[in-house]
Amino acid sequence: MTERETVPDRPLEPRPRAIVIGASSGIGAALVSELTKRGYLVAALARRADMLQELCDTASLSAAPGVYARPYPHDVTDFDAIPELFDQIVADLGGLDMVIYNAGVMPAVGLDEFDFGKDKFQIEVNLLGAMAWLNLAAMRFQASKQGNIVAISSVSGDRGRRVNPAYHTSKGALSIYMESLRNRLTQHGVAVTTIKPGYVETSMLEQVPNPRGAISAAVAADKIITAAEKGRQVAYIPWRWEIIMLIIRHIPSFIFRRLSI
């Protein structure tokens, strides 16, 4: 979003309110910044409290008067704490319009490595944390007949690849969970958007050799929020990945398993 497109100060108008889970760096931090630019009141959640506080201070200072981002240190694998924290945030914001689940981990896994500890961690953060948070959002939005649920999945979830099976599994399962939510909630006026990024310039990209055509986290955040506000069901970021993955999904298995992709 350019400076001219930044939401003007209109103090008498109600502000939209959003929660970003997994907000301290990368796409999550860019989402917090972009949402405040667009006039949202934002609750930013992540484990790294210092980074989160700095992000929220910066986003609040650069936003219009009355617009802010507030930090809430949180580990998404602390499932028991989520219901109370969700209620607290909704009360602090004075309501809720959008929830974005961005938390994700992808530890390095060798081609000959089978590590259940790493697998379990990825499933807990990438999938179970999303279900714990988004179930609560779904119940609230279904009751109010409005709202927007967004999850950052990945093109990696469209097929099972050699490298890091648990990561692909977690993202594939997240996409299916989001489709199920969509099929339940659309009839109640709730938008459910699955985002599938390709290469984005974050720390995760360090594990990818020769990531051609990567976009910045800021560009990704702008496209993600635009897709969500338009009520897109599934959005590949950037759009060319929709074509790339259409081709990859239709490669026969006996050929796909021989490819280094």
Q: With contact defined as beta carbons under 8 Å apart, do 154 and 106 qualify?
A: no
Structure confidence at residue 11 (pLDDT) = 55
CA torsion angle 30 164 244 99 (round to 10)? -30
- pLDDT of residue 105 exceeding 90, the answer is yes
Q: What pLDDT digit, counting tens, does each position of 110-162 carry? A: 989 999 999 999 999 999 999 999 999 999 999 999 999 999 999 999 999 88
Phi and psi, residue 115, nearest 5°? -120, 105
Task: Provide the residue ranges of all domains of the chain, joining segments of one domain with +.
Answer: 15-256
- pLDDT of residue 9 exceeding 80, the answer is no
DSSP label of 162: S
Q: Looking at residues 228-239, what average pLDDT do you find? A: 96
Structure confidence at residue 203 (pLDDT) = 75
- pLDDT of residue 172 exceeding 90, the answer is yes
Q: Looking at residues 191-216, what average pLDDT do you find? A: 83
Structure confidence at residue 32 (pLDDT) = 98
Q: Looking at residues 9-14, what average pLDDT do you find? A: 61
pLDDT band at residue 253, thresholds of 50, 70 and 90?
very high
Structure confidence at residue 1 (pLDDT) = 41
15-256 is a CATH 3.30.565.10 domain = no
Q: Looking at residues 238-242, what average pLDDT do you find? A: 94
Classify burial at 259, counting beta carbons within 10 Å of its beta carbon; exposed 0-12, middle 13-18, buried 19 or more: exposed
DSSP label of 111: T
Q: What pLDDT digit, counting tens, does each position of 57-73 carry? A: 999 998 999 999 999 99
Structure confidence at residue 210 (pLDDT) = 65
Q: Looking at residues 197-212, what average pLDDT do you find? A: 77
